[in-house]
Amino acid sequence: MSLRARVTTLLIAFVLVVGGAVFAVIEWITPQPQVEDYTPYASGGQVNVTLQTAAQTTVTDKPQWVTYFVMDPATHQWVHTTYFKVPPATRVNVTIDGYDGCTPLRNPVWGRVTGTIGGVEYVNGKPVSQLNSWSGCNIQHTFAIPELGINVPIASPTTLKQNKNLCSTSPCSPSSGPRQVVTFSFVTPAQGGTYRWQCFIPCGLAYLDGNGGPMATLGYMSGQMEVGA
């Protein structure tokens, strides 16, 4: 190989490596979902956190992806993120406005409520300790923090008619489609830390085994709970 060819090859290789690194930084590291900080809003040892699920993410460049949103505690606007911060040793009262339709669980064990106060979740105000998605169309996603033993199945609309008339522009509101309101509480650990949470239903439709896309990208079907002062 001539010197010129060698230098050219080297330059091309160099550009590819640098380009790859720049791509990695921009694509995977920079777009960290923003953290909604609930810590200033805690009082009397409790804090209220509000999320929603939606069948699509029309506010991003991935409009077909299922997603969670977190409510900004200051403005009460929905923010497209799955990161939130709460204080340690505090009772977190979670409300999840579920606007998506049903997808059966792969394993019925994810239909059991674990790690919450009283071992229950409230579906539209009614306490339940388990949802059986194999007996009916009744679960859309799950909210789980494995490190804290927390698993909560999110109830879905149960009728075909409701499932065909879901909210189609997200973030959703009560007037934009059928909604199931799921509430539950748990206590954050006394020591701070970062706790990953995720949905365990392979709800990334059109992806291999349903586990790609929104299931594999932070800010959609997974996120983190920061525990700190």
Let me know: does 90 contact 188? Beta carbons within 8 Å. yes
Let me know: does 142 contact 31? Beta carbons within 8 Å. no
* Residue closer to Cu ion (CB basis): 152 or 227: 152
Least CB distance to Cu ion at residue 25 (A): 28
Which positions from 138 to 177 touch Cu ion by CB under 5 A, shown as an x/- string? Answer: ---x------------------------------------
φ and ψ at residue 185, rounded to 5 degrees = -135, 150
Decide if residue 105 touches Cu ion (CB under 5 A).
no
Q: How far apart are CA 115 and CA 48, in angstroms?
A: 17
Least CB distance to Cu ion at residue 80 (A): 15
* Residue closer to Cu ion (CB basis): 121 or 188: 121
* Residue closer to Cu ion (CB basis): 42 or 141: 141
Give SS3 for 216: coil
Decide if residue 199 touches Cu ion (CB under 5 A).
yes
For the chain, report the end-to-end CA distance as a whole number of angstroms. 62
Decide if residue 203 touches Cu ion (CB under 5 A).
yes
Quick one: which segment of 19-27, 75-83, 176-184, 192-200 binds Cu ion (CB under 5 A)? Answer: 192-200
Q: Which of 54, 145, 166, 221 binds Cu ion (CB under 5 A)?
A: 221
Whether omega for the bond prior to residue 171 falls within 30 degrees of 0, making it cis, is: yes
* Residue closer to Cu ion (CB basis): 54 or 201: 201
DSSP class of residue 33 equals: P
Least CB distance to Cu ion at residue 203 (A): 3
Decide if residue 131 touches Cu ion (CB under 5 A).
no
Question: For the purposes of burial, counting CB atoms within 10 Å of the CB of 99, is it exposed (0-12), middle (13-18) or buried (19 or more)?
Answer: buried
* Residue closer to Cu ion (CB basis): 178 or 223: 223
Q: How far apart are CA 214 and CA 167, in angstroms?
A: 18
- In order of 7, 25, 101, 122, 194, the CA distances from 155 in angstroms are 61, 37, 9, 10, 26
Decide if residue 96 touches Cu ion (CB under 5 A).
no
Decide if residue 54 touches Cu ion (CB under 5 A).
no
Positions in the binding site for Cu ion (CB under 5 A): 141, 199, 201, 203, 221
